[in-house]
Structure 1
Amino acid sequence: MSNPIFPTIYIPHGGGPCFFMDWTRGPADTWDTMKGWLQNLHKILPRKPKAIIVISAHWEEDVIRINSQPHPPLYFDYYGFPPHTYELTYPAPGSPELAKQIQALLKNADIDCALDPDHGYDHGTFVPLKVMFPDADIPVVQVSLQHNLDPVYHIQVGAALQSLREQDIFILGSGMSFHNMDTLMQGQDIGNHAATFDHWLTNTCESKPDERNKRLGNWLNAPSARQAHPREEHLLPLMVVAGAGGNNQGKNIFQDNVMGVNVSAYQFD
């Protein structure tokens, strides 16, 4: 009997370095549920990944860029947090070989892309991975978004990469299914918009693959779409993950309520 291929998963990555500090912008346990879930996420994988591909909300380029740095540094691309959060470490190796393989697959699908030998891990990558795989012993390759943020295009990016799942490579999208942080931090009650969009997103991801991708490609027509995502960079990693899911069914594997809004995670297997 052959081994099952790896699922693709879209996760919420929290707020900045929230899992590694005493949270003062709400109840002290604001991020505890999400952190506990991330700590146990490896248990749903069929085995330890040989490598991890991360599509983070925090890297956008004119064309898709692929981190080919063998020892990526960390980018502390968050602001106003305690000093110790700028001293976090995550020494996971990169994989120039996997980066080249990703480049070849994208080019074969007529997707413009380039290797980036200088890029490091932003907080959308190292913060959740430090929780999920604290030993930092699995090679990680980060892949950028394309700055036009076209959802159909990013579904196609994921589809080009889906064969890597058969090589025990874990494709991970890192964002937030709700990301209207300015409004939220102003104390406005937008929980109804968050719940409405979360309900639509779950129904969409759990639809048949063709219908799922069609609806994700037209996500702006969803109820409360712009209230949930004034700008969609935190949603787009889901499109890549869904595309890499191919004909696999999607399912909601985690739900949380953070600061009064619903957030979810999705798996395609």
Structure 2
Amino acid sequence: MDSLPTIFLSHGAPDLAIRDGAVSDFLRSLHQQFPKPKAILVISAHWNSDPPTVSAATNPRTIYDFSGFPNQLYELSYPALGAPELSDRVAELLTQAGMTCETHPTKGLDHGAWTPLLLAYPVADIPVTQLSIQSHRDPLHHWEIGKALEPLRHEGVLIIGSGSATHNMYAFNESYNAETPDWVRVFDRWLAQNIAEGNQEALLQYRQRAPYAKENHPTDEHLMPLFVAMGAGGAKGKQLHSSYTYGVFSMAAYAFMN
């Protein structure tokens, strides 16, 4: 099987799965762009634990880790099988790289995982598991996790970092199609340019070097999955999608394949 890229997806708000628009259309076409993987590993911004932890659940439940959305959203589920063999492989690779990795026996799929997967792989016939982030650790730490996981790309595993290219809940607009402010677009363009050029140093130091970094990421967790994807696939990436929701959420997506 040909090597797979790694992917970074911006999952936006939980209601993405019941919305129509540019990003939903993009996600529905994603499975056509790459060979069908044997398994999927999702690094979601919504699972934070220290040390890194991987789920060994055989039938991961759909987790509704949100509130205040339409009832329709809570009726959705993503019944994919888990991937305990992949979980063992993830733990093995991280251990070989000198990192501690724990296993969670029953952890399900949070909305950072199942929301985009429901659109991208709706048949749910590919085993899926999740790996946690460490929100207090820096981009380099997450890059190194990705480097350790790089062999999975050659074993038929699709590595997906699921976060958000921009994520400021304090500036959240209740209108799905709200106008996007300049400070969001400027940061988003900086990110896209540096990924296109493979500027690893600038990306790892985005806090200090990117315009409006603090405004777009008051906290780091939603960008950390990007660095895992880049570590496993290489700093230079191809932009797959660009759009915005709720004014301040860039829905940018990238593929990395060195």
Normalised to the residue count of structure 1, the TM-score between the two structures is 0.89
| Moved >3 Å (runs of 4+) | 186-190, 259-263
Contact 1:17–1:123 (CA under 8 A) maintained in structure 2: no
For 1:18 and 1:147, how far apart are their aligned partners in 2?
A: 24
Answer whether contact 2:58 2:84 (CA < 8 A) is retained: yes
Any idea what the Cα deviations from partners look like across 1:63-89, whole Å, max 9, x if unmatched?
Answer: 100010111111100110122311211
Give, in whole Å, the separation in 1 of the partners of 2:124 and 2:195: 30
2:195 aligned partner: 205
In 2, the alpha carbon distance for the partners of 1:205 and 1:111 equals: 26
| Aligned mates of 1:80, 1:260 — CA distance in 2 | 19
CA deviation profile, 1:183-233 (whole Å, cap 9, x unmatched): 13379976111111111111211223xx32x22221101111011111111
Q: Which residue of 2 aligns with 1:53?
A: 41
RMSD: 1.8
Aligned match for 2:130, one of 139, 142, 166: 142
2-structure distance, mates of 1:61, 1:258: 28
* 8 Å Cα contact 1:149-1:233 kept in structure 2: no
Question: Paired residue for 1:240, among 228, 232, 250?
Answer: 228
- Aligned with 1:154 (options 142, 146, 150): 142
Which of these residues, 172, 175, 182, is aligned with residue 192 of structure 1?
Answer: 182
Q: Is the 8 A contact 2:9 2:251 kept in 1?
A: no
Is the 1:158–1:243 Cα contact (8 Å) retained in structure 2?
yes
Where does residue 16 of structure 2 map in the other structure?
Answer: 18
Structure 1: which amino acid aligns with 2:22? Answer: T
Q: Is the 1:106–1:157 Cα contact (8 Å) retained in structure 2? A: yes
Instruction: Check the 8 A contact 1:184/1:190 in 2, yes or no.
Output: no
2:188 and 2:60 mapped to 1: Cα distance?
A: 34
CA distance in 1, matches of 2:133, 2:215: 22
Aligned to 1:26: none
Distance 1:101 1:59 in 2: 19
Quick check: 1:14–1:176 contact (8 Å CA) kept in 2?
yes
Q: Distance in 2 between matches of 1:216 and 1:65?
A: 25
> Which residue number corresponds to residue 254 of structure 1?
241
Counterpart residue number, 2:31: 42
Structure 1 unaligned blocks of 5 or more: 22-30
Q: Give the Cα separation in 2 of the matches to 1:190 and 1:72.
A: 36
Alignment partners' CA distance in 2, 1:105 and 1:86: 35
**Which residue type is aligned with residue 251 of structure 2?**
V
| Structure 2 residues without counterparts, runs of 5 or longer | none
- SS of the aligned residue for 2:197 comes to coil
One-letter amino acid of the counterpart of residue 5, structure 2: P
- Which shifted more, 185-194 or 253-262? 185-194
SS class of match (2:68): coil
Structure 1 pair 165/114, CA: closer, same or farther in 2 (3 Å)? same
